[in-house]
Amino acid sequence: MRVSQPVIRISLLCGCAGLLLGTAVLLQQELEQHSGGRIAKLEQLRLLPRGEVLRPALLGYHHVGADLLWLRVVQVLGDRVVRDQDYEWLYHALDVITTLDPKYVYAYDAGGIVLAELAERVDLSNQLLEKGLAPNPNSWQIPFRLGFNHFFHLNNYRQAADYLALAAKVPGEFPIGPPLYTARLAARLYAQGNNPDVALEFLAGMLEQTTDEKIRERLMRRIKRVSLERDLQMLEKAVQQFVETRGTRPSSLAKLVETGLLAQIPQEPYGGDYRLDSATGEVTSSTHSERMRVYRASDSMATEGDPE
């Protein structure tokens, strides 16, 4: 019985694919045996061919390939073999994964957070997230993360508001659709992006959605730092009100409570205390000498001070 040419070609192609897969598995095992396994996994991801090359070689199983590569990324991150600032491999691996499966929303979302918060590569995080916008118009997570990056890392409040407004348009109830506060937060960003209360609302939303302990720890540090700046601004505003009504500066912060301008002096988030320079009216913290100037109305785009 004659076998048609198309059948022969398909058989040969499947045979070659099987041979390549078998070789890859053997090579992977050999690498892991000779390097303790963990470093080899990282190097395999670093040396991955581009997604455009890999996709046709997977013969329609590109979604499976994306899943397997994502599991490998998670393993490498969990093994803690990555050196500080050595995250170029991660962007490359995520780029390959999202080329194999452009609708892999979780890879964009989680990868974008890791690149921005742990790798401190906001540029790569934004590249990855922006890549995911077009193929995933019903994902609120991707524009939400872009909004976070533009607000906290790039101090671009207008762009952050634009991305949040885009996220707010996705239909459905949370978690299919965005959290209820998204539209409100976008509106507040348009109106008062340099307000610490807006930052705290944004951070609380991110914390609520994040399960990774490392990233949660960083977010909680940011919340404490922004809370400190919020308190300093509130105290200085009360001092200014005291001056306007009494024509002199208060001798202490306690005077603000005595005169009814404040119900109480807020608790310093780091366990220290707030101090007033009665000669200048400046309020400072005993634990932090620098201010988060990014949130000061007088200079909303400056970046001095510890952002965390």
More confident residue, 175 or 1: 175
Helix (H) or strand (E) holding 60: none
Question: Residue 306 falls within a domain, yes or no?
Answer: no
More confident residue, 161 or 80: 161
Same-domain check for residues 232 and 196: no
Number of domains, the chain: 2
Same-domain check for residues 127 and 224: no
Same-domain check for residues 179 and 34: yes
Question: Residue 21 falls within a domain, yes or no?
Answer: no
Q: 23-32, 101-110, 291-300: which range is least confident on average?
A: 23-32
Residue 12's pLDDT band (cuts 50, 70, 90): very low
pLDDT mean across residues, the chain: 85
Residue 106's pLDDT band (cuts 50, 70, 90): very high
Burial class (CB in 10 A: 0-12, 13-18, 19+), 292: buried
Same-domain check for residues 232 and 102: no
Give pLDDT, residue 293.
54
Residue 80's pLDDT band (cuts 50, 70, 90): low
Same-domain check for residues 243 and 211: no
CATH number assigned to the domain comprising residue 204: 1.25.40.10
Q: What is the chain's Cα-based Rg?
A: 26
For 270-278, what is the mean pLDDT?
96
Question: Contact 249/242 with Cβ under 8 angstroms?
Answer: yes
Q: Is the pTM of this model over 0.85?
A: no
Structural domain ending residue among the three candidates 162, 186, 218: 218
Same-domain check for residues 160 and 274: no
Whether residue 156 has pLDDT greater than 90: yes
Structural domain ending residue among the three candidates 218, 253, 288: 218
Question: Residue 201 falls within a domain, yes or no?
Answer: yes
Token pair in block for residue 73: 């990324």
Question: Residue 91 falls within a domain, yes or no?
Answer: yes
Give pLDDT, residue 44.
83
Same-domain check for residues 228 and 108: no
For 68-97, what is the mean pLDDT?
84
Give pLDDT, residue 300.
33
Question: Residue 46 falls within a domain, yes or no?
Answer: yes
Same-domain check for residues 171 and 223: no
Owning domain of residue 199: 27-218
More confident residue, 169 or 11: 169
Q: Are strands 274-276 and 283-285 parallel, antiparallel or unpaired?
A: antiparallel
Same-domain check for residues 49 and 198: yes
Question: Residue 3 falls within a domain, yes or no?
Answer: no
- The C-alpha angle 266, 303, 159, rounded to 5 degrees, equals 100
Same-domain check for residues 205 and 58: yes
Question: Residue 12 falls within a domain, yes or no?
Answer: no
Same-domain check for residues 96 and 173: yes
Structural domain ending residue among the three candidates 218, 245, 266: 218
Question: Residue 74 falls within a domain, yes or no?
Answer: yes
CATH number assigned to the domain comprising residue 235: 3.30.1300
Residue 76's pLDDT band (cuts 50, 70, 90): confident
Same-domain check for residues 177 and 254: no
Please count the other Cβ atoms lying within 10 Å of the Cβ belonging to residue 81: 16
Give pLDDT, residue 32.
52
Compute the distance between CA of residue 59 and CA of residue 57 in angstroms, rounded to an integer.
Answer: 5
Q: What percent of the chain has pLDDT over 90?
A: 68
Residue 291's pLDDT band (cuts 50, 70, 90): confident
The string of pLDDT tens digits covering residues 15-62 is 545 444 444 444 455 445 544 555 677 888 888 999 999 999 888 999
Give pLDDT, residue 30.
44
